[in-house]
Structure 1
């Protein structure tokens, strides 16, 4: 949706905060959320990035934006997150006005220098967010319990599994429960959706964006999620030999494996193939850690 289609009240808020008339708005394509995502330039040369959505576009997305707003306000200024200038919420439209970051997404599949930079930045982010500056954040183990417990469904539905797992599904289900318990005990604030398209690289910064799914989790959660995205393309440092980490990886594998066996939802014909590949990536990782 182009910036010019925003309600007049939202555009007036943008110009009031920036202190000048917007003369250029470049829409940023991609992502999953409807609404406006645009890089702005004002008559005085000031730059900013705006994202905004209304309930008429999607009734659920405004709540995700509100969750991001709370997370950003709780974190305060950190070099690895964008600066939030101001927020807008009229109970219909929700908007965020951020600094404009002149950078690019990491190359995907990952390349080694960028993976090394990002993993170093994730370690910095984790140190800053453990313990969580938002103690009342959603708990990952509660919000994702159903997804992270899918090996039970695989057993109930008698789904086929890779040959090496024959007779071991209950073992992975038990491992997944271990990972879920560790998540329930975690006190760190996790981004919980880290992948290449939620990261911006500049000459001197790594910036983690789109905080729509933050939650209280184990401090290693974001590192594990990123390793899964990176592991088939670059060399990675070994993670601790921790049963809870292996269990979390197994839990994600179960969620994706069961999901890949379901009918495709309307309008998303490729998601099941993607889920199957993700499950196989995580299962290969579990097998490696168990050997």
Structure 2
């Protein structure tokens, strides 16, 4: 190894760095201490299982090597010289990323790898409705969601059903997991991948756009037919996705992971606003 460069950003408590190796070759490495962060280490191990099976040709970083000694979980990827989108967003940039998301979905339906069909990153209104402390916190975040909690709980149940499918779904495709590299759009970080309806990833992506203050609707209409998703199904999956974000934003979190809670609240606020608009702005 000749040179290391720490990578800023991200929400994991782990280590991330770009490595320049002898001969000029570059790699990206991330690592986490499994004793200090067992949940995060399980995510790293899940990513090893997924990334190691993704076929070449997909717009994802190639997994070069791994190490897991029970204490440290380390992943080595090919280096992608890119930047996250939305700094700030342009209309052309959004169209480009959405187009790649649609193309990826079409290329990975059916999924080229076997994955679970559960959706742990969808749904949350039901759990909020069962917890008085969460209900109280919700009222301070969104009085609209608090008033319509029973309806949102019913809609998200439909969304959990509508989100089923046979596509390879990233399940965490927010803009911080997207890289723009030249004329390529690369999707990174794969620990949460599942089989499902690909519109789930588009919802996450456009929620990030909405959280940056941009109306996502103009970028949605052309994509829904390409993803074979009728608007009513989209709305139910959006409700389930919003519930997941809101539940995460309201849940207690260790101080070291507070940035995750803050980001989920930012995304949940935008997703709730978007969902309310699509449901006809009920009071």
Question: So what's the TM-score if we normalise by structure 2?
Answer: 0.80
- Aligned to 2:220, which of 224, 232, 237? 237
Residue matched to 1:147? 124
Q: Which has the higher contact order (CA 8 A, sep 6+)?
A: 2
Structure-2 change in CA distance of 1:35 and 1:272 (3 Å):
closer
CA–CA separation in structure 2 for the residues paired with 1:153 and 1:216: 28
Q: Bigger CA drift: 195-204 or 276-285?
A: 276-285
User: What CA distance in whole angstroms lies between the structure 1 residues aligned with 2:42 and 2:146?
Assistant: 42
Structure-2 change in CA distance of 1:60 and 1:24 (3 Å) = same
Deviates further, 106-115 or 206-215:
106-115
1:180 maps to: 160
Structure 1: how far apart are the matches of 2:277 and 2:150? 18
Matching residue of 2:17 = 38
Distance change >3 Å, CA 266–CA 35, structure 1 → 2: closer
Q: 1:179 to 1:266 in 2, by over 3 A?
A: same
Paired with 1:214 and 1:245, the residues of 2 have a C-alpha distance of: 19
- The secondary structure found in structure 1 opposite 2:17 is strand
Contact 1:151 1:255 in 2 (8 A): no
How far does the alpha carbon of each residue in 1:65-123 deviate from its partner, in whole angstroms, 9 at most, with x for none? 11111111222113410112222223332222211111211134522121111111111
Q: Shift of the alpha carbon at 1:209?
A: 0.8
User: Does the 8 Å CA contact 2:121/2:241 hold for their aligned counterparts?
Assistant: no
Distance 2:240 2:146 in 1: 17
Aligned pairs for 1:97-136 (under 5 A) are 97-136=76-115
- Cα 1:85/1:259, change in 2 over 3 Å: closer
| Counterpart mapping for 1:1-291 below 5 A | 22-137=1-116, 139-140=118-119, 143-144=120-121, 147=124, 149-150=126-127, 152-153=129-130, 157=135, 160=139, 168-183=148-163, 185-231=164-210, 232-233=213-214, 235-238=218-221, 239=224, 240-257=229-246, 260=249, 266-267=255-256, 275-291=264-280
Unaligned runs of 5+ in 2: none
TM-score (norm. length: structure 1): 0.78
Q: Displacement of 1:198 after TM fit?
A: 1.2
Q: RMSD across aligned C-alpha pairs, in angstroms?
A: 2.9
